[in-house]
Every structure is written in structure tokens, then in C-alpha cells.
Chain A
């Protein structure tokens, strides 16, 4: 009986403790971080949303934004992002989670490779690995420098821009310095396509 009462008393303490801890750790703490974030880094805290030349929110700099048809084929007028297991939908996020020898991957990867080679008019051996593999999040906005370079001619032609101009845009959006050294040189496709749109608009 004493043991039972001991447990009951502990349970009461536990419930009150949990409630009080929730007020501090589950409400005050996130609200404090929210306040500090809005004060010192509102751009990042609100999703790194970038605006177009008209000032309207156009995209998040951190999330892939892809124009694709129902079959998942990306619009040839723009730089393409990496394959995505979630169809580039920011309402979800996932990798393919297929094993390193999985038969589905062994079908998908060569098919992706053939499609990219055809779209860019290059041989299959020139297609880099990031172009044919799904990212960990499905929302990766970055591609390798190699994959961006493959796409310059196609995108330049679609927008009536010279390849030099588009090449310059790619250079600007390629990570450099410590970021590229610790990670790898990467091109942000979401931002690059906004640049292309703006450049095409100017002409």
C-alpha cells in the first residue's frame, strides 16, 4: 500500500513537473528563439524567401523549384535540378531510401542518364552522378558545376541569351571559398533560374 501511494505521489509530481517544463521548454524557449530570429536574421528565420524584380515572393533560396510536367520531365527552358523522390514538393521531403544494390535504382539511374544525355545533346559518359541520383531531401536546390555547365547551351538558346551571359550567371551562383572546399562546388538552381529569368526579361 505504501509503495502504491509512493508511486501515486510520484505520478502527481511527474505530471506537474512535465506541465511546468513544457511551459518553459515547449513555449517560452521556441518563442524566445523566434523573437531573436525575427530581430537579427528575419530573412533566414522566414525561409530565405527571395523576391523577383517586381518585389513578389518568388522562391526560397534553399528549396528546389522545378517546372515539370506530370511525368516529372523538367521544362527544357530552365536549368534542371537533381531527381527527387518527392517530385520537388516542399510539402514533403524524402530520399528514395533504396539500397546500394537495389534493382529499382539499377533501372532508374541508367534511364535518368539516357534522358539527361538526350536533353543536353551529350554522350552518356559526360553526365555527372548528381544529375542521375535523387537527393537526400528530395528538395536539394543544388547541382554540381559539371551538371550546370552541360545545361548552359540549352538554357541560353531557350531564352535568346548568349552562352557567355548564361555562363556568367552560373559562375555567380557557384559556391566558392571555404563553402566549396568543405562541401563541394555547387550551383543553386533555384536562384540561377531567377537570374536567367531576369536576364531574359532585361533583353
Chain B
């Protein structure tokens, strides 16, 4: 297979045009969704039945408590119901899910990771897929968005404890934002060839005598929210490489579009909410610059066709789908790791070494370009606060961010946020690398074995969910360790962001002075970009050198 540069560039241009065209209307719509205080009648019914007091707003700690309790209840429910699969309807004849796998999967879907330690076809039936996992595709995406909203409210509001109501926010994110787009997206995917039924079909080719059972299932409905909510958990094991999830190069491009749709429109929402659209454009500009650079590098690394296997085969092919081709797969691989999606349309494990390395670096950037639904924006805003602090050091002024002082408390929270994922990845991967019994689960030889391990923990702690699939993670040790990485990688940053929001909301607004570093424009954008890249480089370079960089240097 040959990497088509013309196709690659065409797809990027089409994608960017569509996203640029839509980011304003969608961004403005999202502002309205979360701003209004009126509830529609179905929402009022929903609140009454759920026991939600929609009229009250919450402090940051109560907001956080709601996030944590909601997630804990969801994890518990999904775990128990997976274990009971065998006696529930819609099991497709499959027994209860193994406890380690059930635990890992429950955490994985609630944390928006969608790491799949299970083989879907052999583990989960329609009930688990449709009523448990796909529901979390909506709710975990909604949680990410509402945490970003709470942070922006903290920046905008003054002298208050109130950051909004978690239940109202999640309801609106799910039903006013995600659901309508998912319905349209799923319908488009069905037309494009994605399956949506509840039965399998027996086929017999009379000429060859081959009989097959063609699988079915509510695939399109799950597929749409899988990408729209930057979740990534496939209905089938092969994920978006499976012809029933991703039948053509058109559906592949459409899925990348859905992956980027909400994260790339959120900066506009942010700009409107803070009353200065330049703020949003600056954040969007940094995200776009990172996305374009990384996507171009991914294209280059795939096109190089490096690796002994590709050389032996006379070109790319292993792990690629013929109908999609290397260009569409490079675009998908970059976007899925620059967001918290983790869906794949090519086997990342078999990518040329540096392409696999770029996928890892994308996640290590903290998935901020444009990142997961909501998590990308709040990640980028924390980095902006770090950038403001560094700029403040340079000019010798107390740093401010949009009229709020960045004092010791705010800086501690932001610095801790930045430290959480690298610590999780490096400590957990480091410990695991010392355990030969566990490392046997990654049968690859040489630096690639470490790459598979590093990829797994990077993916888990950053809530991505893609994998170097050669590693078997369904045993107790890796199930638990990756579960810990996913849990802490999701909820520690959320706790820190909400604490930051609470701290900012309490302040009064100080007027900008001549010493205020502007947080918009090219200069600040460059600073933010540099901070993002340098943080990653400093944290991860040694680990990358042992894995993908070492592999890339082997001839």
C-alpha cells in the first residue's frame, strides 16, 4: 500500500473546512445550553423522577462530590450487571463477565477511557453493550464537558461559591447536545453501511459452500456516540477497522469529523462565556497548530514505511485495511490520540515505530489538541494558567488570568494537575517493567515490549483507550493497575480543576493594568504552545527513548 499525500491533504482540508464552518454555531449553541435557567418539560419530569433539585447551584466541593458519587454508582452498577450477564436478557448466550475484566471495563467506560481488555464478540452481549457501555459513552463525555463549564464559570464569576448544578449540567450535555448530534450521526453511519439491528444473519455461498454467520447489533447507535463523545470503545474487537463499524473511507473521515466536532467548538464557547472571543480563538489556534503539526508528522512517519516487516512486505499493509488506506488511517490515528478517543482504524501496534511513538506523544501532551470532550479545554486552560505564571515571572508581576489573581493556591492546583498523569504513567509503567511475570503478557521482543507497556499506561492514565494490541491486559495485575491509572488519571485532574474553579470564583475581578500579560494573541499563543510541548518533553523523553525512539533507530 502506498501513502497518498494528495488524499491525506484533501481529507485534512475537507475536515478543517467543516470544523471551521461549524465551530461558531455549535460553540454558541453550547453556551446557550449551559447558560439558561429554564428547563424544558421533559427535563422537569426527569429532575422530579431523579430527585434533582434543579433550582440550586453547588459549590465546587458539592459539584465534585456529585461527579464522584455519580461515577462511583455507575462503576458499581456496570460491574454488578456485567457479572450477572448470564442471567439477564440480551446476553447473546454469553456468561457473566470475568470479575477482573468486569472491574476494568466498568472503570474504563465511566472514565471516558474505553480501554478494552475484553474481546467484545466473546465477552459482552447486546444488553451490556447497549444499556451499560453505550450509555456511559454519553454520560462520561457529558461529565467532561460540564467540568469544563464549571471551570469557565469559576473564571467568569466573582465572589461566589456557586459553580452550577452538576445534575442539570449533565442532563443538558446529554440530552440537548450529545443526543441530537448522535441521532444524526448514527443515521448517517447507517446510510454509510454501519449495521443497526438486533440479530445475526446466516448466509451460505452455494458456489463455494462457505457458510457464515454475519453478526448484527446496535452498532451505528454506539458508533456515533463512541466518536462524538471521544470515547472509543468498539462494538467489535477490531474497532473502527471492522467493516461493520467503518465500512468505507467516507465513514472513516466522518468519524474523525465527529471526534473533533465538540472539542474544537468548545474554545468558541469559552470565548463567548468570558466575554472576549479572542480568548477562545487563541486557545483554538494553539489546539489547531498542535493538531496540524502532529497530524503532518503522523502522515510523514506512516509514509516512511519504516520497520523490518514493511520492508519485507514491500510496503505498508500489516494492520491496515485495504479500503481505508494509509492516508485515512494516519489521519484517524493522529486524531484519536490527540483527543481522548482511542478508537482505531488501523492496528497501532503494527504502525512504523515513529508513528507509534507519535501516537504516544499525542496522548502525553495531555490530549489537549483539541482533546476529549471538555477535558481538552480544561487541560488547555490549566496549561494557560501555567503559561501566565511563567510570563508573570518574566515581567516580575503577580500573574493574573482574565482578571483573577493566580496566587499560591491556584498555582499549586495547576502544578499538581500537570504532575498527575506523568507520575501515574511513569511510576506504574516503571514498577510493571520490573515484573518479568507481568511483562510476559507483552510477548514482543526488545524495545517494542517496553513500547507496548508504555503505550498501555499512557493510554490508561490519559483516558485514551487505544492500545498496542499485542499486550494482554486481562489478567488481575494489569486489570487493577490500569484500572488505577484510569481512575486517578480521570478524577484527580477533575478534582483539581473544580478546586481551581472554586478558588477563582471566590475572587473579585481585578481590572487589567499595564502590567497584565494579555492571554490572547500570537505571543501568548506561542508561549502556551511552548509550555505544552516542553512539559511533555521534560516528563516523558527518557521513557520514549527506551521505547519507540529506540525502535525507530533500529534499522
- On A, residues with C-beta under 8 Å from B are 6-7, 10-18, 20-22, 24-27, 29-30, 32-34, 36-38, 40-41, 44-49, 52, 54, 56-60, 62-63, 65-67, 75, 77-78, 82, 90-103, 105-106, 109-110, 113, 125, 127-130, 132-144, 175, 179, 181-184, 186, 193-194, 197, 200-201
- Inter-chain CA distance A113–B130, complex, in Å, is 42
Contact with A along B187-198 (1 / 0, CB 8 A): 100111111111
Contact B327 A29 (CB under 8 A): no
Contact with A along B177-208 (1 / 0, CB 8 A): 00100110011001111111110011111111
**7 contacts across the A-B interface (CB closer than 8 A):** A25-B139, A29-B183, A33-B186, A137-B236, A183-B323, A186-B322, A193-B207
Contact A136 B319 (CB under 8 A): yes
Contact B468 A97 (CB under 8 A): yes
| B8 (CB) vs chain A CBs: closest residue | A182
Contact with A along B341-356 (1 / 0, CB 8 A): 0001111011111001
Report which of B204, B241, B352 forms a contact with A95, defined as CB distance below 8 A: B241
Residues of B within 8 A of A48 (CB): 193, 247
Contact B135 A90 (CB under 8 A): no
- Inter-chain CA distance A44–B220, complex, in Å, is 10
Contact A137 B238 (CB under 8 A): yes
The listed residue with most B CB atoms (<10 A of its CB), out of A56, A96, A106, A184, is: A184
- Inter-chain CA distance A62–B212, complex, in Å, is 13
Report which of A47, A128, A142 forms a contact with B195, defined as CB distance below 8 A: A47
Contact A10 B119 (CB under 8 A): no
| B190 (CB) vs chain A CBs: closest residue | A37
Contact B205 A194 (CB under 8 A): yes
Contact with A along B154-193 (1 / 0, CB 8 A): 0000000000000100100011000100110011001111
- Interface residue? B491 (CB, 8 A): no
Contact A129 B316 (CB under 8 A): yes
| B448 (CB) vs chain A CBs: closest residue | A99
Contact A47 B349 (CB under 8 A): no
CB contact under 8 A between A97 and B349, given known A14-B70, A183-B324, A194-B207: yes
- Interface residue? B33 (CB, 8 A): no
Contact B350 A96 (CB under 8 A): yes
| A132 (CB) vs chain B CBs: closest residue | B313
Q: Chain A's nearest CB lies how many Å from the CB of B54?
A: 11
Residues of A within 8 A of B195 (CB): 44-47
- Inter-chain CA distance A124–B210, complex, in Å, is 30
- Inter-chain CA distance A125–B312, complex, in Å, is 11
Contact A129 B313 (CB under 8 A): yes
CB contact under 8 A between A182 and B243, given known A37-B220, A132-B313: no
Contact A102 B444 (CB under 8 A): yes
- Inter-chain CA distance A13–B195, complex, in Å, is 35
Residues of A within 8 A of B551 (CB): 99-101
Q: A17-B70, A102-B448 are in contact. List 17 more A-B contacts (CB 8 A).
A: A7-B65, A13-B50, A21-B135, A25-B134, A30-B222, A34-B218, A49-B203, A97-B469, A106-B308, A113-B313, A129-B316, A129-B317, A135-B322, A136-B241, A136-B347, A182-B327, A186-B322
- Inter-chain CA distance A49–B200, complex, in Å, is 11
Residues of A within 8 A of B324 (CB): 183
- Inter-chain CA distance A22–B247, complex, in Å, is 28
Contact B131 A27 (CB under 8 A): yes
- Inter-chain CA distance A18–B329, complex, in Å, is 36
Residues of B within 8 A of A41 (CB): 190-191
- Inter-chain CA distance A200–B138, complex, in Å, is 51
Contact A37 B322 (CB under 8 A): no
Residues of B within 8 A of A96 (CB): 318-319, 347, 350
Contact B319 A134 (CB under 8 A): yes
Contact with A along B470-500 (1 / 0, CB 8 A): 1000000000000000000000000000000
Residues of A within 8 A of B469 (CB): 94-95, 97
Residues of B within 8 A of A136 (CB): 238, 241, 319-321, 329, 344-347
Contact A97 B243 (CB under 8 A): no
Contact with A along B326-362 (1 / 0, CB 8 A): 0111000000000000001111011111001000000
Contact A67 B11 (CB under 8 A): no
- Inter-chain CA distance A61–B177, complex, in Å, is 34
Contact A59 B130 (CB under 8 A): no
| A105 (CB) vs chain B CBs: closest residue | B309
- Inter-chain CA distance A113–B309, complex, in Å, is 12
Report which of A17, A21, A58, A92 forms a contact with B119, defined as CB distance below 8 A: A92
Contact A100 B313 (CB under 8 A): no
- Interface residue? B539 (CB, 8 A): no
Contact B212 A59 (CB under 8 A): yes
- Inter-chain CA distance A179–B241, complex, in Å, is 17
Contact B470 A16 (CB under 8 A): no
- Inter-chain CA distance A65–B315, complex, in Å, is 25
- Inter-chain CA distance A59–B210, complex, in Å, is 9
Report which of A22, A97, A183 forms a contact with B135, defined as CB distance below 8 A: A22
Residues of A within 8 A of B139 (CB): 18, 21, 25
